[in-house]
Amino acid sequence: MSGVEAKSAARPRVLFQLSGSIAAYKACHVISRLVQAGCEVQTVATRAALEFVGAATLEGLTGRPVESETFAPGAYMNHIHLMKWADIVVLCPATANTINKLASGIGDDLLSTLFLAHDFKKPYLVAPAMNTKMHDHPTTQASIVKLREWGIEVLGSASGALACGDVGVGKLLDPDLLIDEIERRLPERETLGSGATIPPLPGKRSVENSLDILVTAGGTKEPIDAVRSITNTSSGLTGALIAETLSTLGHNVTFLHARDGKRPEAREGGGGIGAVALVPFVTFRDLDEAIRRLLLEREYDAVIHMAAVSDYSIDHLTVNGLQTAVNGETKLDSGESVSISLKKNHKILPRIKEYARRPEMVVVGFKLTVGANPGERRRAVERVSLGTDLIVHNDAEDIDPRLHPATFYADGAEVARTQTKFELAAKLEELIRGRAVHRPAQERP
Ligand SMILES: Cc1cc2nc3c(=O)[nH]c(=O)nc-3n(C[C@H](O)[C@H](O)[C@H](O)COP(=O)(O)O)c2cc1C
């Protein structure tokens, strides 16, 4: 683009900036979807970004040449004009280097100089993508804090297998989530010159279609004394991702989570129609009581029960031959001879509809098996299907840092399969939405 172009009708104008990360190819997918949805997209790329995606690709996707140089004949003032032109600025993928440059006020290329000319009244969205060590580096962390303090919306990043082979945080968010984040910040849609309206971007639900969903996640802990407990290996990660996805898609989520478990990123109590309320639990009893209380307090449209619940709680201890109750305030001496008597806990899943003020809600259960064959998997699913509308099955042996295969069952039949956690979350939302009994906004509490 040279100089200021006439503002074309009322199409949202997205200044889409790429820096040099291996995730740049995913940004092309986001750009393509924005263009398909009727946005005008102007790309700006650092020199490093153009090592990952070609200028031809970016021009082919947007119909506009990519801008990269500050000193380009005929476009010397782009570092000011492009900022004026844009309705929203997106930096995706954002490298550690560029994030640190922006936070330090360095303007040594077009992208960073544009930031110095940023109009802080406009949304500026940053989607980081980098190796975990680069992400956790004190400079990068300090820069993210600084940018956020200035009102720049630095999104979280996903956890998972990174291109360098490491596993951890720093992965670019899924393109669907990015598209949704961008769409939420686009100016009000208007009618195009042709009379057609810009089609809505896929994903986001309107207020009327948003659902109230309770998600339970993470493992219960049964204390033996002040420092020891019986627990399981659930991290709550998939549950947090599901809660994050549901909230990003506009649903109201109550996230009932293990106190030490993973939580959804940056959305606690957030405003808008995708708020997440966090409620912690520790023991089976806490979890059971919290579910009952929440289901009586609020009319949920769906419950996704994926917490890993202990089948047993501790009934009593026998310490040096004497029966004693568990005392969570003191520590047993390591020299003592201790035996633990367990009591069986009831299953929460088949009681959820009984607990609820609104039993017509959708109940989703999760079943994990370990190394089960197809027949065993099916029987395991059948055993937990009482009182549920959907069951999601995983087998621990199929799960690795890249893949998280899941099979969905309804009424005893397989209805869908997904391969990754992101696909799982998106499919779950779709299946719940298809089954939820719609309530008009005015009937909601
Ligand atoms: C194969 C490869 C992949 C890279 N991926 C990333 C990345 O995902 N995130 C990042 O911050 N830097 C990454 N880098 C390093 C940046 O490209 C490098 O710091 C560069 O100077 C960034 O320039 P820019 O911020 O101006 O685009 C990668 C480098 C290479 C060679």
Residue ID of nearest Cα to ligand 1 atom 13: 21
Cα 53 to middle of ligand 1, angstroms: 13
247 lines ligand 1 (CB under 6 A): no
DSSP type of residue 5: P
Cα separation, 427 vs 412, in Å, equals 18
Cα 95 to middle of ligand 1, angstroms: 6
Q: Which of 85, 48, 80, 92 is nearest to 64 (CA)?
A: 85
- Answer yes or no: same fold for 13-185 and 207-439: yes
**Cβ 42 vs Cβ 64: under 8 Å:** yes
129 lines ligand 1 (CB under 6 A): yes
112 lines ligand 1 (CB under 6 A): no
Interior/surface letters 20-30, b for 16+ CB within 10 angstroms, e for the rest:
bbbbbebbbeb
Residue ID of nearest Cα to ligand 1 atom 16: 20
Please state the atom number of ligand 1 nearest to the C-alpha of residue 162. 8
**Cβ 394 vs Cβ 368: under 8 Å:** yes
Tens-digit pLDDT string for the chain (445 aa):
433 343 444 578 999 999 999 999 999 989 988 988 888 899 999 999 999 999 988 988 888 899 999 887 766 778 788 988 999 999 999 999 999 999 999 999 999 999 999 999 999 999 999 999 999 999 999 999 999 999 999 998 876 666 666 666 788 998 888 998 898 888 754 332 233 333 333 444 555 678 999 999 999 999 999 999 999 999 898 998 888 878 867 788 999 999 999 887 644 443 334 578 899 999 999 999 999 999 999 899 999 999 999 999 999 999 999 999 999 889 999 899 999 999 999 999 999 999 998 889 999 999 999 999 999 999 999 999 999 999 999 999 998 866 889 999 999 899 999 888 878 888 899 899 888 876 655 555 5
Total-model pTM:
0.55
DSSP string, 48-96: THHHHS-HHHHHHHHSSPPB--SS-TT-TTHHHHHHHH-SEEEEEEEPH
Residue ID of nearest Cα to ligand 1 atom 6: 21
- Choosing from 18, 19, 21 the residue with most ligand 1 atoms within 8 A of its CB, the one to mutate for a pocket test is 21
Cα 106 to middle of ligand 1, angstroms: 17
Note if 164 is an active site residue.
Answer: yes
Q: Measure the CA angle with vertex 200, ends 303 and 433; round to 5°.
A: 20
Cα separation, 405 vs 19, in Å, equals 32
Residue ID of nearest Cα to ligand 1 atom 26: 46
Cα 73 to middle of ligand 1, angstroms: 28
Residue ID of nearest Cα to ligand 1 atom 2: 22
Cα separation, 392 vs 243, in Å, equals 16
97 lines ligand 1 (CB under 6 A): yes
Q: What's the CATH superfamily of 207-439?
A: CoaB-like (3.40.50.10300)
Please state the atom number of ligand 1 nearest to the C-alpha of residue 130. 9
Q: What's the CATH superfamily of 13-185?
A: Flavin prenyltransferase-like (3.40.50.1950)
Break the chain into its structural domains and give their ranges: 13-185, 207-439
Name the amino acid, one letter, at 65: P
130 lines ligand 1 (CB under 6 A): yes
20 lines ligand 1 (CB under 6 A): yes
Cα 24 to middle of ligand 1, angstroms: 10
Name the amino acid, one letter, at 165: G
- Choosing from 17, 70, 97 the residue with most ligand 1 atoms within 8 A of its CB, the one to mutate for a pocket test is 97
Count, residues in the chain = 445
Cα 70 to middle of ligand 1, angstroms: 20
